[in-house]
Amino acid sequence: MGKILEIYRSSENCPIRTVLDRIGDKWSILVILILGEEETMRFNELQKSMNDISQKMLTVTLRKLESDGLVHRRIFPEIPPRVEYNLTERGISLLPHIHSLSDWATKNIDGIRRSRAKSGN
Amino acid sequence: MGKILEIYRSSENCPIRTVLDRIGDKWSILVILILGEEETMRFNELQKSMNDISQKMLTVTLRKLESDGLVHRRIFPEIPPRVEYNLTERGISLLPHIHSLSDWATKNIDGIRRSRAKSGN
DNA sequence: CTGAATCCTTTAGGATACTG
DNA sequence: CAGTATCCTAAAGGATTCAG
């Protein structure tokens, strides 16, 4: 077995597992993609731009992305409050990889759906 | 808002969400990476090559990957039974995208860990 | 050896109400 | 407007037992 797999096997040391544990949730990728297109968005704009995310989950998702240093949160001391979100450099550097995955998904989604249907899924 | 985002917003039509709903679980990526290195493996070999996966979850994971047409399952009619798994062409075509994501994770894991620590995570 | 079936715990996520 | 706090449900995943 290669050295690479020695790393993958340990959930605590494995970079991709450490990262995907966060990004593999229901909303993170979507938030990153949206911020990648729109540059800067307010909390409310983000929520409206996603069909069905709850306010709680948007908050949780943004906090996690922020703590990973992928998203930056800027608070304007105004009333009513105003908070703007944008990708950090690290977040931007992740973007092309998500896009390439997204392209693969778009290309293969029909085949995948056919496979699932055939198997009763 | 761009057309791309119109697609992302709908969880049912969005390819990347449809795909990541499956692949974003705890074990799928790891199985794909391992099969990408080892070509063909038996059920037991796969389980041993992962530190802590339960037998049930390995079965579930492999069934989902199979139903997505990413993994092929070959049964040898022997006693005791023998089942070999390998990536399909579709699975192989996904591999480089996961690797590029994995490379990004490896490069950024230290910074991410520092960010998390700083934020109390 | 490769599972399937069952039960149980943990976690993710949603709904609602409230606040500066 | 941008959250927090609380409660609740659903889904993921683990442990155990059994079977061909």
Q: Is A4 among the domain residues?
A: no
Residue-wise pLDDT for A88-112, tens only, equals 999 999 999 999 999 999 999 999 9
Query: Is the residue at A88 inside a domain?
Result: yes
Report the candidate in A72, A29, A101 with the shortest Cα–Cα distance to residue B94. A101
In a domain, B99, yes or no: yes
Whether B9 and A106 lie within 8 Å, measured CB to CB: no
Q: B69 lies in a domain?
A: yes
Contacts 24+ apart (CB under 8 A), B40-45: B40/B84, B40/B85, B40/B86, B41/B84, B41/B85, B41/B86, B42/B82, B42/B83, B42/B84, B42/B85, B43/B83, B43/B85
User: Are A109 and B15 in contact, with CB atoms under 8 Å apart?
Assistant: yes
CA count, 13 A, side-chain hemisphere, A60: 10
**Distance between CA B32 and CA B96 in Å, rounded?**
11
- The string of pLDDT tens digits covering residues B11-34 is 777 888 888 889 999 999 999 999
Q: Which residues of B touch A89 (CB under 8 A)?
A: none
Residue B72 lies in a domain: yes
Residue B92 lies in a domain: yes
Query: What whole-number distance in Å separates Cα of residue A22 and Cα of residue A65?
Result: 8
Mean pLDDT for B62-91 is 97
pLDDT bracket for residue A54 (50, 70, 90): very high
pTM of structure: 0.92
Separation in Å: C17 C1' and A53 CA: 18
- A77 in B contact zone (CB under 8 Å): no
Check pLDDT > 60 for residue B114. Answer: yes
Cα three-residue angle B95-A97-A28, rounded to 5 degrees: 110
Residue B73 lies in a domain: yes
Whether residues A112 and B18 touch (CB distance < 8 A) is answered with: yes
pLDDT of residue A3: 67
Q: Is there a domain that residue B10 lies in? A: no
Percent of chain A past pLDDT 70, that is, above it, reads 93
The amino acid sitting at B110 is D
CATH number for the domain spanning A91: value is: 1.10.10.10
pLDDT at A16: 85
Split into its structural domains, chain A has a count of: 1
* Per-residue pLDDT band at A9 (split at 50, 70, 90): low
| Three-state SS letters, A50-106 | CCCCCHHHHHHHHHHHHHCCCEEEEEECCCCCEEEEEECHHHHHHHHHHHHHHHHHH
Q: Percentage of chain A surpassing pLDDT 90? A: 76
Domain extent at residue B86: 26-119
Q: What are the φ and ψ backbone dihedral angles of A105, each rounded to 5 degrees?
A: -60, -45
